């Protein structure tokens, strides 16, 4: 049902006849056109086509409603007014002879049938009439609305904590709805957009900062700051901050080969996540997150062992076969804050 912006903004000032209720659209500062009314009542009682005091600008002197054989006071079009009529794909433009809309349609042999409606739209002193079984209009509504809450992740807050950074305030909202009439019945009313609101949304920051992530959590983004620090972002929403990142050469080791035992230089038991470093490059006990080239994410690690020199890191693996498959490759070592 929705139309492009320029279409429904143009249509909002349309006056629709032969419906079962009365609707108004208020004049505002948002660029929407003036009010329109839809007449009701079995006697076809008339209503003003424009609620503003500038009635003459609409070129319509008296309201007119007709449908299903009912009739009421006539709308007389000022002589010389440019009138465009559209019906069943046919478009005709003429100048009014100081006649009513009904007389003009009869003159053009485009009169509405009992199942049709006449939409009346005034733009820049000209009038456009649409004769159809389905006509679209737009209603501007101001209604009370409760404030909404928006939650924002904050990696600087510890995971499991939150804080309100903006208090919410209830207010009024002005919205636009698309109205569709078919054969004199309102068959659809759909929200289009909000054009103004005094409601203030509540903003709540929730912490995602953590010192470690669960096994199997996937790294989805690395946010780097100008000073070399940054944040690792994981699929679970968890975030881990790092103080800097180093490009290093990675190798692999496992217990039982090349004289490697089951204990590290710091006395911990070797396991996936314990890595050997040059302690003059990376101090023992430093928490790390390691991503090797080729899309291999070693993950969370701790500098617990020694036995390498320079800008290198040796990563523990469970089996010798895994070590062979890993080989020797470049990697990025994130030094966790």
Q: Do you know the residue count of the chain?
A: 337
Cα(172)–Cα(25) distance, integer angstroms: 16
Cα(155)–Cα(146) distance, integer angstroms: 29
Contacts (Cβ under 8 Å, ≥6 apart) of 41:
none
pLDDT value at residue 74: 53
Cα(111)–Cα(235) distance, integer angstroms: 64
Looking at 106-184, which runs of residues are DSSP E strands?
Answer: 117-123, 126-132, 134-145, 149-158, 162-166, 171-182
Contacts (Cβ under 8 Å, ≥6 apart) of 316:
252, 253, 254, 270, 271, 272, 273, 274, 275, 276, 305
pLDDT value at residue 184: 63
Contacts (Cβ under 8 Å, ≥6 apart) of 267:
none
Residue 230 near residue 308 (C-beta atoms within 8 A): no
Contacts (Cβ under 8 Å, ≥6 apart) of 325:
none
Q: Label the pairing between strands 329-336 and 239-253.
A: antiparallel
This prediction has a pTM of 0.52
CATH node for 212-336: 2.40.40.10
pLDDT value at residue 54: 33
pLDDT value at residue 13: 35
For the chain, the structural domain boundaries read 5-139, 212-336
Per-residue pLDDT in tens (0 to 9) along the chain, 337 residues: 333 333 444 343 333 332 222 222 222 223 323 223 333 222 322 233 333 333 332 333 223 333 333 333 455 678 888 999 999 899 999 999 988 778 888 999 998 887 777 777 767 778 888 888 887 777 788 989 999 999 999 988 998 999 999 999 999 999 888 878 776 667 888 998 998 999 999 999 999 988 888 878 999 999 999 999 999 999 999 999 999 999 999 999 999 888 788 899 999 999 999 999 999 999 999 999 999 999 899 999 999 999 899 999 999 999 999 999 999 999 999 999 7
Coil, helix or strand at residue 78:
coil
């Amino acid at each position: 049902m929705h139309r492009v912006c320029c279409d429904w903004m143009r249509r909002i000032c349309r006056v629709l006849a032969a419906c079962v209720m009365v609707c108004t659209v208020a004049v505002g500062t948002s660029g929407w056109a003036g009010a329109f009314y839809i007449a009701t009542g079995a006697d076809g009682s008339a209503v003003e086509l424009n609620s503003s005091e500038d009635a003459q600008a609409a070129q319509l002197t008296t309201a007119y409603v007709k449908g299903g054989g009912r009739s009421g006071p006539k709308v007389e079009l000022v002589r010389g007014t440019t009138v465009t009529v559209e019906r069943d794909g046919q478009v005709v433009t003429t100048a009014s002879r100081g006649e009513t809309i009904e007389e003009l349609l009869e003159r053009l042999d485009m009169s509405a049938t009992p199942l049709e409606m006449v939409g009346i739209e005034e733009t820049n002193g000209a009038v456009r009439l649409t004769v159809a079984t389905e006509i679209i209009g737009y209603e501007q509504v101001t209604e009370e609305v409760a404030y909404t809450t928006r939650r924002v992740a904050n990696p600087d807050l510890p995971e499991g904590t939150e804080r309100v950074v903006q208090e919410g305030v209830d207010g009024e909202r002005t919205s636009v709805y698309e109205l569709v009439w078919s054969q004199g019945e309102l068959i659809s009313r759909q929200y289009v957009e909000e054009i103004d609101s005094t409601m203030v949304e509540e903003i709540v920051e929730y912490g995602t900062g953590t010192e470690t992530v669960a096994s199997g959590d996937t790294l989805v983004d690395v946010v780097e700051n100008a000073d070399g620090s940054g944040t690792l972002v994981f699929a679970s929403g968890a975030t881990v901050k790092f103080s800097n990142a180093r490009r290093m050469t990675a190798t692999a080791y496992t217990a039982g080969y090349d004289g490697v035992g089951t204990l590290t230089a710091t006395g911990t038991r070797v396991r996936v996540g314990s890595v050997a470093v040059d302690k003059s490059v990376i101090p023992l006990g430093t928490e790390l997150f390691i991503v090797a080239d080729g899309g291999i994410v070693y993950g969370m690690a701790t500098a617990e062992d020694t036995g390498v020199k320079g800008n290198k890191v040796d990563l523990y693996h469970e089996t010798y076969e895994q070590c062979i498959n890993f080989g020797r490759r470049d990697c990025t070592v994130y030094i966790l804050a």
